[in-house]
Amino acid sequence: MRALIISADHFEDSELLFPFYRLQEEGVEVYTTSIARGKINGKHGYEVAVDIAVRDVDPNNYDFLVLPGGKAPTKLRKDPAVIAIAQDFMRRNKPVAAICHGPQILISAGVLQGRRATCYHSVAEELQGAGALYEDTEVVVDDKLVTSRQPSDLPAFMREIVKLLGHPR
């Protein structure tokens, strides 16, 4: 199984790194993508290597999509390649996990109409405006879509992701 994490500079460090390493623990190959190859830097100083630029991503090569939060989604949601990847995963009902501001990418992709989801409190109104059914809870699972609000929700977020992968603990 192969997971794709889409992020950019100013990501929330724990929201990228926790899924990155936890998925690896489950035997998942994890790849990081961003606007360009090189490195991206988190809000708290962590640096992450970018394996592939979003423009070069073929969604067919990945089984799972992770969208961390922080300030990165604000930039990423403007990139047509990022939007196309999110739309492809959602259209084909592949697992997608988004936390904090990560759902902003899904909002811009126009894929949340009628879907149950959560996000960081400052994004809630926009999430509802996109037609999502907002729930203010640590994790929301709607079929193969997993969403959470903030770093303190990471244990619940990852618990549900691992279940979705078919590895319940």
Look at residue 167 in the predicted model and tell me its pLDDT: 67
Q: How far apart are CA 140 and CA 146, in angstroms?
A: 6
Could you give all domains of the chain from N- to C-terminal order, each with its CATH number? 2-164 (3.40.50.880)
Q: Is 121 marked active-site?
A: no
Q: What pTM was computed for the model?
A: 0.97
* DSSP code for 121: G
- Report residue 168's pLDDT band, with 50, 70 and 90 as the boundaries: low
Nearest to 148 by CA among 4, 32, 19: 19
Give me the catalytic one of 44, 101, 121, 167: 101
